[in-house]
Every structure is written in C-alpha cells, then in structure tokens.
Amino acid sequence: MKVLVVDDEPLARQRLCRMLRARAPGDELYQAANGPEALEQNRLFEPDVVFLDIRMPGMDGIETARHIGQAAQPPAIVFCTAYDQYAIDAFESRAVGYLLKPVQEQKLEAALAAAARTTRYQLQALAQDTRQERRCLSSHTSTGTRLLEVAEVRALLAGHKYVSAIHPGGSLLVDESLRELEEEFGDRFLRVHRNALVARARVRALHREKSGEWVLELDGVEERPVVSRRHLAELRAVLEHL
C-alpha cells in the first residue's frame, strides 16, 4: 500500500509515519508539509490512502481534499486533526475516516480498514458529490503543481483539451471542463459563450467591434472574450445590476 501523510507539524507527521511503519513495514510512505506539496506528491506517487491534517496555513486540509478528489483515481482520505469541530466539513469533503490527535492505534486500524473497503469507483462518486466550492484551481505542469485563487480569475476559456484560466499574471491550464467549472462556481462566473465564462465582479464594459462582434472588457487583463448572440441579452440584463 502507498500512503501519504500530510501535516505542517513535523513531529505529528513523524509520529504517524512511525505508527504506520510499525503496522506494515512494507508500505510505501510519503510525506508533505502543506497542501500544495500534498497535491504534488499525490500526482507523482498516486497513493492509496492520504492522512491529511485539516488546520494548515495557506491551503487547509479541506481545500486540499477537494483538489485531490478531482483526480481520475482519487485516494481514500483520512483526516487527522486536534480540532473535532472540523468533523462536519471533513465529511462534506467525503473523507472515509476522521482521527483526532494524538492518533490511537486502534482508531488508526479502523480508519485503514475503512479505506481498504472503499473502492476507486466509490471515491470518484463521492468526490463528484462534494458540495463546497474550492478556493483555488490547480494545474499539474512539468515544473510541478501550480495553484491559482479563483478570486484572481477573470475568465475561463475552453480550448480543444483544456480550459485556460485567465488572470492578471497570464493564464493557467486546468484539466476540468467548462461545464464542471460552471456547475461549481456558477455564482461567481457568467456564461457569455459556449466556450467562455467570465467573472461577474471583473466585467468592466461591453463593446461592439467593427466586425460586429460583441466583446467584454475585464479588469486587469487584455483578453476580451467574445459574447455570443445567444447570451447577449442575458449579459446586458446582468450588467444593469452590477
């Protein structure tokens, strides 16, 4: 079995690793100190189980779990935390187990047994049923995992295989479909074309080009998404209330 232990506290991380090694010396163990490291380790090693701390600086465990759950073959996630008030959020992120620190051996055995009973198909279904939207989008590149806060995205533009998230610093390729992103972030983004969503709060003006096309001016970027005739009336109605 391949296991990833994620915790920003080195002592807690090492203690859990010792318990796991004592239980199954042949298991492959990997470690990460924060959310972004966890996403990269998950991409590189494809663990079967992730033991994930919740209260971490920056990207917390709940946010990290949502990203891990988007993988084609997501691992089973077991949350480990000293704060039991996070239990509801943990199970809304579809963890298969929840352990309070300091972790007890009997509880650890039960969590691993639950993870072993959960099939990959079940994990994919659970991940797709997660109700809370993420704070960041992630992209796996040749240089590692990159994160982009959703609040920084001005537009989401669909290409042949990927969606480009346009932001003031450039663009980021994400491997989720425009429809999936619209379903998750529908309150933040507005459909203006079959290939384009724009951030409602970042729309500055609607212009008509000499060619007759309607385009949107967005805050902080040069990209001007085209507005289709089908969505023009709805967009105008939205702009009246911005």
- CATH code of the domain containing 225: 2.40.50.1020
pLDDT of residue 45: 93
Question: Buried b / exposed e across 167-194, counting CB within 10 Å, b at 16+?
Answer: beeebbebebebeebeebbeebbbbbbe
pLDDT of residue 184: 86
Is the residue at 15 inside a domain?
yes
Examine the fold and report which residue of 96, 128, 160 is the final residue of a domain before the chain moves on: 128
Same domain, 20 and 101: yes
Examine the fold and report which residue of 128, 144, 166 is the final residue of a domain before the chain moves on: 128
Is the residue at 135 inside a domain?
no
Same domain, 99 and 157: no
CATH of the domain at 51: 3.40.50.2300
pLDDT of residue 12: 93
Q: Which domain holds residue 84?
A: 2-128
Question: Buried b / exposed e across 32-59, counting CB within 10 Å, b at 16+?
Answer: bbbbbbbbbbbeeeebbbbbbbbebeeb
Same domain, 97 and 195: no
Is the residue at 147 inside a domain?
no
pTM of the model: 0.60
Same domain, 103 and 215: no
pLDDT of residue 88: 47
Same domain, 156 and 49: no
Is the residue at 139 inside a domain?
no
Is the residue at 12 inside a domain?
yes
Same domain, 121 and 44: yes
Same domain, 157 and 220: yes
Same domain, 12 and 121: yes
Examine the fold and report which residue of 128, 160, 189 is the final residue of a domain before the chain moves on: 128
Same domain, 158 and 110: no
pLDDT of residue 171: 94
pLDDT of residue 144: 72
HEC per residue, the chain: CEEEEECCCHHHHHHHHHHHHHHCCCCEEEEECCHHHHHHHHHHHCCCEEEEECCCCCCCHHHHHHHHCCCCCCCEEEEEECCHHHHHHHHHCCCCEEEECCCCHHHHHHHHHHHHHCCHHHHHHHHHCCCCCCCEEEEEECCEEEEEEHHHCCEEEECCCCEEEEECCEEEEECCCHHHHHHHHCCCEEEEECCEEEEHHHEEEEEECCCCCEEEEECCCCCCCEECHHHHHHHHHHHCCC
- Cis-peptide, bond into residue 102, ω within 30° of zero: yes
Same domain, 113 and 160: no
Let me know how long the chain is.
242
The number of beta carbons lying within 10 Å of the beta carbon of residue 124 is 16
Is the residue at 146 inside a domain?
no
**Under 8 Å CB-to-CB from 189, ≥6 apart: which residues?**
156, 181, 182, 197, 198, 199, 200
Q: Provide φ and ψ at 155, rounded to 5°.
A: -155, 155
pLDDT of residue 49: 92
Is the residue at 145 inside a domain?
no
Q: How many domains does the chain divide into? A: 2
List of the chain residues with pLDDT < 70: 83-97, 118-133, 143, 242
Same domain, 96 and 187: no
Share of the chain above pLDDT 70, in %: 85
Same domain, 93 and 168: no
